[in-house]
Structure 1
Amino acid sequence: MDLGKIQNLRLKKIENSRGILVDDDGNEALIDKEEIKDVKISEEVRTFIYNGHKGEIWATRKKPYIELGQLKKLKLSEKSKFGYFVDIGLDKDILLPFAESYGRLNLGKEYLLYLYHDRSDRLALTMNIKDKLKINDKFKVNDMVRGIIYSIGKPGYFVAVDNTYDAMIPKEEVKGLYVVGDEVEARVARILKNGFITLTLREKAYKQIDADADEILDLLRDNSGIIYLGDKSRPEEIKEITGLSKSAFKRALGKLYKKRLVELYDRKTVLNNGK
């Protein structure tokens, strides 16, 4: 009997409010009588097997959102002293232990989780999924992809692309506030020799200029038409204030200057009057 998987079992007998199912090796699982009203003794029933209370093994004909060995995005439903209970589409939720979670999690939010057997041979969930992801065998540089942030570390934001491939957005590439569980759309910037994907949230340079120029215009308008950044400003200053690299900043300024929207100085940029 495979705990955490959908499988066919035979109905052995019915006792009071529950039925007893059996596999070919004689292992038994309990099922609610209401779920087998249309089943005769010795008939096969397609069921999902899970842990009940007091060591009992239960079965259900309901289809869960996840099976053993799968990665799925699931919602946290409740917090306990042991961890978070997660809705998998059944009457019984499955535990995500604190030791298998990352950071501060929010009830009602969905996270990418993996279903496994814990040391007590009970079903449990984990956010520790890095070794469950594949190296790239599908994407090429400049492809646009979607993924879920599954962990955040010193190098950057680790992303499960298509819930399948391991990737990372370097920390310096990230503008705005992202947390574990957020979905992102990104471009493949590099593919290392080992197949690991590096992502960027930015478009290719020639496509990104317009967006960067609009951001600088908004910044100027929010600061009375002047920002103290220019051609001689240090890259660190530019990055801190605008989130852009110095080269991207200069490309965007060049576009604005050609349109006569700004005046440029060594260490400041001024919005033209009336713009």
Structure 2
Amino acid sequence: MELGKIQKLKVASKDKNKIYLADEENNKVLLNKDEGKDLKVGDIVDAFVYNGHEDFEATLKTPYAEVGDLKKLKVVDKARVGYFVDNGTDKDVFLPYKEAYGRLEVGREYLLYLYHDKSDRLAFTMNIKDKLKTNENFKVNDIVKGVIYSIGRPGAFVAIENEYDGMIPKEELKGVYRIGDEVEARVQRILQTGFVTLTLREKAYKQIDADADEILELLEENNGVLELGDKSDPELIKDITGLSKKAYKRAIGHLYKKKLINLYSTKIELKNGRK
């Protein structure tokens, strides 16, 4: 009998209070007492086996995740030593603090892997890096979707399509991102190892109009003047606009060609009539 798996079991016995299911080796498990009223002895059912209060139990409900599955699921409660996650059955599954990244929010969804712990109990973990594949499916400039499963000094690590490992480098992150966020990104590079780096930005020729529009908004919010020119410090440009210096210079050059701004070494300003 496989813990954490849906399997075919036979109704071995039934009375007013209890229904027992059995596998081919005649290992028996108690069916959830609120299920199986219409079953007869000898019936074959698809049942999910999980940890009950004292021993294994079974349910006819379909869980969101079986052992070995990687799914985005909701944290529904918090306890002294961990969290509890809704897995689609009557019994929530434990996520220990040591298997979680940071402080999680009850009510939010996170990408989780279902496994057996050392005590042969079902548990979830957020430590999924070794469960993800290296790239065998994407090419540079493909648009992909994924879930942020960890954030560290290099950037935000993303489970692409919940299957492949990738990362958005720190310098590519614009705005506030949290573990559990879903993102749509472009494949920027594929390393020889198959590891994928992603960018949230469009290709330069598509992104330039969006960047220029953001700079125009910043200018209008600051009385038509932005104390950033092509000689300004890259970190200062990044802090104020969220753009790299290269992207900033490309955007202000675009605005200059359209005769919307005046350029100076340490600032830019809107032309008359635009303030």
TM-score by length of 1: 0.97
Q: Which amino acid aligns with 1:5?
A: K
The letter for the 2-side match of 1:9 is L
Matches for 1:78-227 after TM superposition, within 5 Å:
78-227=77-226
Query: Secondary structure at the residue paired with 2:214?
Result: helix
- Aligned twin of 2:38: 38
Instruction: Quote the offset at 1:115 in angstroms.
Output: 0.2
Separation in 1, partners of 2:249, 2:267: 12
Identity %: 63
Does the 8 Å contact 1:14/1:33 carry over to 2? no
Structure 2 contact 66–114 (Cα < 8 Å) conserved:
yes
Give the structure 2 partner of residue 3 of structure 1: 3
Aligned mates of 2:243, 2:139 — CA distance in 1: 25
| In 2: Cα distance, 1:236 partner to 1:66 partner | 44
Deviation at 1:45, TM superposition (A): 1.4
Deviation, 1:236, is 2.0
Report how far residue 90 of structure 1 moved: 0.7
Match of 1:131, SS?
helix
Larger CA deviation: 30-39 vs 172-181: 30-39
Alignment partners' CA distance in 1, 2:44 and 2:33: 15
Unaligned 5+ segments in structure 1 are: none
How far did 1:38 drift?
2.4
- How many Å separate the matches in 2 of 1:34 and 1:116? 26
- State the distance in 1 between where 2:260 and 2:167 align: 37
Cα separation, 2, equivalents of 1:252 and 1:239: 13
Output the amino acid matched with 1:252: A
Partner Cα separation in structure 2 for residue 155 and residue 203 of structure 1: 21
Moved over 6 A (4+): none
Cα deviation, residue 61, structure 1:
0.6
CA distance in 2, matches of 1:32, 1:114: 24
By how many angstroms is 1:33 displaced?
Answer: 4.3
Q: Deviations over 1:9-35 (max 9, x none)?
A: 111112442201111112111113442
CA RMSD of aligned residues (A): 1.0
- State the TM-score, normalizing by the size of structure 2: 0.97
Matched AA of 2:120: D
The number of equivalent residue pairs is 274
Question: What SS does the aligned partner of 1:274 have?
Answer: coil
SS for the counterpart of 1:113 is strand
Distance 1:52 1:252 in 2: 60
Q: Give 5+ residue unaligned stretches, structure 2.
A: none
For the residue of structure 1 that corresponds to 2:250, the secondary structure is helix
Name which of structure 1's ranges 10-19 and 146-155 shifts more when overlaid on structure 2: 10-19
SS at match of 1:73: strand
Task: Tell me the distance in 1 between the aligned counterparts of 2:22 and 2:190.
Answer: 49
Match of 1:76 in 2: 75
1:161 positional shift? 0.3
- The CA deviation at 1:274 is 2.1
Deviations 1:48-98 (A, max 9, x none): 0000002x1111111011111000000010001121100011111000110
Which residue type is aligned with residue 41 of structure 2? I
Distance 1:32 1:167 in 2: 41
